[in-house]
Chain A
Amino acid sequence: MITEAEFAFLRAFLKQRSGLDLGPEKRYLAESRLRPLCRDAGLGSLGELVRKLRSGEDRGLADAAVVAMATHETMFFRDRTPFETLRTDILPRLVEARSELRRLRIWSAAASTGQEAYSVAMIVQEMGLPAAGWTIEILGTDISPSAVERARAGTYSTFEVQRGLPVRHLLDHFSQAGTDWTISPALRSAVEFRVLNLLRDFGGLGTFDVILCRNLAIYLDAPTKTALFERLARVLAPDGALCLGTSETVLGYTRTLVADPERRGFFLHATAAAQPERAYLAG
């Protein structure tokens, strides 16, 4: 067990080092996450670990402690594969389907601090779409005003900026300011962030070709999930795709949407799946 004062130190320590904010109620979490480190470092107790961290004499230990405590909220290109699927498969097909309109709308619906939306913006830019005269609207929304503010600023700590982000992207799309990294003006202006509670009406946002609503549904109860999926379906283009988190599915919650049999993590209108020539799955 650690004391209240030791926990306060650990929170401040983590925040200062990584930008991560461990909630005041996460004392037990911090303890359980630091215990393996104590063992590895050959320290007898968590109290001893805190004393060593306070003394600041062991850099390796300090870094390892930050890592052990970090809460894993979001990251760039989270789970990697869905973003590969977007880049190589879903977006190219939508581009073909919209060749007249030359316009795509993409929504990161639980955007947190923006990494997901910016990952999509990097893909879109690397596909050369804006340069080719396409209008690509990327909207990021989250219930948390502070998360939205951080997303808009596009500034990340060293720890955050490399979670999931290949170093090539870091060099191409970020500039360094001290220990922070800021996303390029081109990408920042490609994404709009707004505060939005998904439990409220969002019909006014218009229709989207791709919706990412990742790692939010897992925290909702069944009726709330059903309602959310059906309301998302209403703003998803008939041939559009919804992307959920790796451990999330619409199965058992709604019949309006169905899993894309070919692309893990993506969901389509049931009507489109029944008429493949109408969906992006038409090759």
Chain B
Amino acid sequence: MKHALVVDDSAVIRKVACRIMEGLAMRTTEAEDGQQALMACRREMPDVVLLDWNMPVMDGYEFLKALRKMPGGKAPKVVFCTTENDVACIARAMHAGADEYVMKPFDRETMTAKLQEVGVV
């Protein structure tokens, strides 16, 4: 069973995202910010990370850069899920090592297609 780490400071978004991932036969772990997410990755490297950008403590962009430097941190597919919808932000995220980028609002079809695109489903 693949393991998804859902990182978002909104409890509702985490819940919705987890529901989508569980519907795709994945188990999920939640984190409220980048720091919590890094700790989760140290415990167990997930197969895929759904990552919000703007979060307190440590944002998604900083998390991504730190993750890619960790041992084994190149392996997880990282899909940004964020309200940041500026083309410059998207390009920055991809440059920092994101695999896909989803702008909120998104739905199950969008997410599923993106996950197929990066090869986790």
Contact = CB atoms under 8 A, between A and B. Distances in A.
Given A162-B110, A163-B113, A167-B90, A40 B103 contact: no
Interface stretch (A72-80, A134-142, A206-214): A72-80
A66 interface: yes
Interface stretch (A24-32, A54-62, A103-111, A233-241): A54-62
Contacts of B19: 40
A63 interface: yes
Interface in B71-121: 83, 85-87, 90-91, 94, 100-110, 113-114, 116-117
A39 to B, nearest CB: 9
Nearest to B103: A158
Interface residues of A, number: 31
Nearest to B79: A167
A18 B100 CA distance: 20
A70 B103 CA distance: 15
B25 interface: no
Interface in A157-192: 158-159, 162-164, 166-167, 170-171, 175-176, 179
B84 to A, nearest CB: 11
A17 interface: yes
A67 B106 contact: yes
A182 B117 CA distance: 22
Taking chain B's interface residues, is the majority helix, strand, or loop, or is none over half, making it mixed? helix
Interface centre among B8, B102, B104 (most CB of A within 10 A): B104
Interface of A: 17-18, 37, 40-41, 58-64, 66-67, 70, 72, 75, 77, 80, 158-159, 162-164, 166-167, 170-171, 175-176, 179
B101 A61 contact: no
Contacts of A62: 105
Given A37-B16, A171-B91, A72 B109 contact: yes
B57 interface: no
